């Protein structure tokens, strides 16, 4: 049995929109675990709160309820839902990676630099980080002529590969993947799946959302099915006055 990395207990997330005076429920009472060297996949209909879970773990969203127990390399067990912001920033830099659904980067930053960023943040020398970025982009079939220009001008599939490369390059202890194979052609998707398998072998714990059930079947060690959230609630009258 491989070691437990992430233990999510009764996670819920809802959005309280003050202007519209509404509470939008998203993930609801979700519990699951992620182990080292294994991939847990989240499935469920659109709006069931799959992405909300990933964002809650990364603390891009502030969880509404539940506990997110992360077993860190050096600092023991940390509840990501409540942990100090500086601790979250340190974990993001050294242990937890996130491949978001869309790539956000500066329109003036070269692809190589975008991919090398996580290594630079860990303090690696620039030349070495660039070397590693080149290796990875090669492995992902991203043509060399694109390396020195910004991904802002890339096609969806090219961009997605840059996004993935940036997430994989630092070999994080926990990797969150939000539809990493969407908009890839079958051949490239195959390559990317190979890289994900490699990283699993290396011991990275993964939590992923795939749009394609076949890929989920091939890569996942555990599958967590989410049900759609309860209906939308409007706040009661008293709150409206407040």
Enumerate binding residues for other proteins (CB under 8 A). Answer: 15-19, 55, 59-62, 85-86, 88-90, 106, 108, 120
CB-nearer residue toward other proteins: 18 or 145: 18
CB of 89 to other proteins, least distance (A): 5
CB of 58 to other proteins, least distance (A): 8
Phi, psi of 117 (to 5 degrees): -50, -50
**Please, are residues 183 and 156 in contact by the beta-carbon 8 Å criterion?**
yes
CB of 201 to other proteins, least distance (A): 31
CB of 224 to other proteins, least distance (A): 22
CB-nearer residue toward other proteins: 14 or 204: 14
CB-nearer residue toward other proteins: 35 or 59: 59
CB-nearer residue toward other proteins: 4 or 90: 90
Q: Could you give the CA distance from residue 24 to residue 104 in angstroms, rounded to a whole number?
A: 25
Of 66, 79, 56, whose CA–CA distance to 11 is shortest? 66
**Please, are residues 175 and 206 in contact by the beta-carbon 8 Å criterion?**
yes
| Number of alpha carbons in the 13 Å side-chain half-sphere of residue 187 | 4
Residue 89 CB neighbours (<10 A): 11
CB-nearer residue toward other proteins: 106 or 190: 106
CB of 88 to other proteins, least distance (A): 6
**Please, are residues 232 and 22 in contact by the beta-carbon 8 Å criterion?**
yes
């Amino acid at each position: 049995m491989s070691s437990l990395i992430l233990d999510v207990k009764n996670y819920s997330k809802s959005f309280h929109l003050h202007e519209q005076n509404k509470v939008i429920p998203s993930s609801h009472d979700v519990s699951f675990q992620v182990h080292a060297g294994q991939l847990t996949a989240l499935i469920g209909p659109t709006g069931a709160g799959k992405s909300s879970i990933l964002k809650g773990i990364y603390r891009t969203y502030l969880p509404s309820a539940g506990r997110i127990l992360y077993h860190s390399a050096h600092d023991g067990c940390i509840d990501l839902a409540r942990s100090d912001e500086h601790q979250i920033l340190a974990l993001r830099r050294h242990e937890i990676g996130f491949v978001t659904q869309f790539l956000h980067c500066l329109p003036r930053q070269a692809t190589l630099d975008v991919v090398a960023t996580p290594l630079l943040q860990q303090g690696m020398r620039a030349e070495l980080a660039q070397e590693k970025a080149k290796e990875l982009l090669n492995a992902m079939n991203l043509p060399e002529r694109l390396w020195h220009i910004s991904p802002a001008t890339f096609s969806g599939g090219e961009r997605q590969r840059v996004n993935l490369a940036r997430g994989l390059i630092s070999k994080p202890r926990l990797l969150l993947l939000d539809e990493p194979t969407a908009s890839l052609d079958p051949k490239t998707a195959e390559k990317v799946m190979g890289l994900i398998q490699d990283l699993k072998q290396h011991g990275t714990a993964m939590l992923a959302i795939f749009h394609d059930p076949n890929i989920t079947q091939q890569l996942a060690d555990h599958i967590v099915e989410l049900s759609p959230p309860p209906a939308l609630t409007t706040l009661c009258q008293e709150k409206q006055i407040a």
